Chain A
Amino acid sequence: MSEMKKATREGFGEEIVALGKQNKDICVIDIDIGKSCKTGEFVKQLPKQHINVGIAEQNGAGVAAGMATCGKIPFVVTYAVFGSLRMCEMIRQEICYPNLNVKIACSHGGVTPANDGASHQSIEDMGVLRTIPNMTVIMPADYVAAKKLTAAAAEMYGPCYLRFTRDAIPVIYDETAEFVIGKANVLKEGKDVAIIANGDTVVLALKAAEELAKEGIQARVVDMHTIKPLDVEEVNYCVDHIGKIITVEDHNILNGLGSAVCEVAAEKGKGIVKRIGIQDQFGQSAPYERLLAINGITVENIVKTAKELYSL
């Protein structure tokens, strides 16, 4: 892990410019929060591939669908809470049902818009969108992952939700790391407990694994950057070979990564899964770290939970 810190939204903002230069069909549809979502460079360098529909999310999704039918690859860019819930029915009806090549690329996922309060925090988005057929749901764990998964999303055909976050977080991948949509990255091998995380919480899982190692507990750390399609093979491996799994996410524990992993384990009828995430409660205006702590999304709680599982 390098000392460098960068926000995943920055990775998106840089990569989308590179992609737009390579492929003139790639467009950005902003909804008046482009500055915050880091599309400023795209606007400057590729103005002919840029649309700003103003504060009108539903329309943004519909315009994107229409453009996709004419061969464009639109990236609709807004905050996660609006890009999932405000646009939800348009995403279902006009993007996923006709299986159009539209990407919903959102910043401020999870509780990272901390001081803005619950209205701007997005704790349901991935769960809601993963229940819609044809949709792919991705959350990169760092700046490098954000760039590579943005490129992979542009490359694949079909609707895709990309969830980025506000804050600078440690860069854990080097530039040579490979990403395949739907294929988890195992960041650390371990036989005693599996920690499956996504997004900004992957670094917490890595730190927890370091702490556990000091006490002789070997944790396997998995970056499950795609929750749909879930890497079922990896979850099965964890269930079969370790049997003790912790999921960590900045998302409601209902219907997000934890639920997706539980579904696989339950169908196998094996293993035990402990979910760490937002405890089905709204946030409030507070520092990001406090909001995580209130919900037990901390290195300490991952370590504690791992020890409990290990002792079973």
Chain B
Amino acid sequence: MKNVSVNELKNIATDLRKKAVTMIYEAQSGHPGGSLSAADFVAACYFREMNIDPKNPKWEDRDRFVLSKGHVCPIQYAALGTLGYFPEKELHTLRKEGSILQGHPDMKKCPGIDISTGSLGQGLACAVGMALCAKMDGKDYRAFVVVGDGEAQEGEIWEAAQTANKYHLDNLIVFVDDNNLQLDGTCDEVMPNIHLGKKFEAFGFESYEIDGNDMQQIVDTLDRIRESKNGKPKCIFGHTVKGKGVSYMENACGWHGVAPNDEEYAQAMKELDAQMI
């Protein structure tokens, strides 16, 4: 854990949002809505919570980060680029031929990606495998996973949750990015999720329900979780706003996988700049 203040983390999250939107604008392709909803948790993990070394991305004892909702990788790429996993200028190559920054995360191409993702529902099982290895080898590293609420409609998520419970993976932290929007509409319309925090709790997880865009709540929850070695895997059920930080994208289903035009991009940058404290 690094000693970074909540206000600093807020600014980092805003900076990551700007970078992610810029990448998607430059590529004219990508997924801004979910990138923005997950930004605060991603910032808290990479810049405060996780035990990582950007100069040594394959360090065996590092904490792992799995972006199960792989389509929101611009926000993760922004964090990795800012931390120096690769030259920051690479951020301008998103989705371009030959880029290390594929449309969905590719661990073979991009330093700092712990597992390739993109097909929804699969990342949690991979993170379970990582957390299991830490237990098997008597190591302290943890596995952090971001799962989308839409994605939690996939059955494999719950298969993986069962396994986490069975093997007492208290080193597994699942953040549910609960923005209640998916491609075809709201999650409630497409496929009601019931209450994902309670659902994970029913699967044996220690569950926390927070405002997933409130940095203070994220940091406080991660602090509590760090101390909790009770054999239970952890779930942070974070209520978030899809498109958070850019007014016209907020809670708008249409901004799932669409890039902003020139005017929209200028407005997004202006709004995000105003959020710097």
Contacts and interface: CB of A to CB of B under 8 A. Distances in A.
Contacts of B128: 59, 62-63, 66
A64 interface: yes
Nearest to B124: A62
Counting chain B residues whose Cβ lies within 8 A of the other chain, the interface size class is 35 or more
Interface in B110-127: 114-119, 122-127
A70 interface: yes
Most buried by A among B114, B117, B124, B125: B125
Contacts of A98: 106-108, 115-116
Interface residues of A, number: 29
A64 B127 CA distance: 10
A297 interface: no
B259 interface: no
Contacts, number: 109
Contacts of A89: 119
A97 B126 CA distance: 14
B60 A71 contact: yes
Contacts of B66: 66
Contacts of B209: none
B121 to A, nearest CB: 8
B231 interface: no
30 contacts: A51-B167, A53-B162, A54-B159, A58-B122, A58-B155, A58-B159, A59-B128, A61-B125, A62-B123, A62-B125, A62-B128, A63-B125, A63-B126, A63-B129, A65-B115, A66-B127, A66-B128, A66-B129, A66-B132, A66-B133, A67-B129, A67-B130, A69-B114, A71-B60, A89-B119, A90-B156, A93-B116, A93-B118, A94-B117, A97-B106
Given A93-B117, A98-B107, 15 more contacts: A27-B136, A54-B162, A54-B166, A56-B156, A59-B156, A62-B124, A63-B160, A63-B163, A67-B130, A69-B107, A69-B115, A70-B130, A72-B136, A93-B122, A98-B106
Interface of A: 27, 48-49, 51, 53-54, 56, 58-59, 61-72, 74, 89-90, 93-94, 97-99
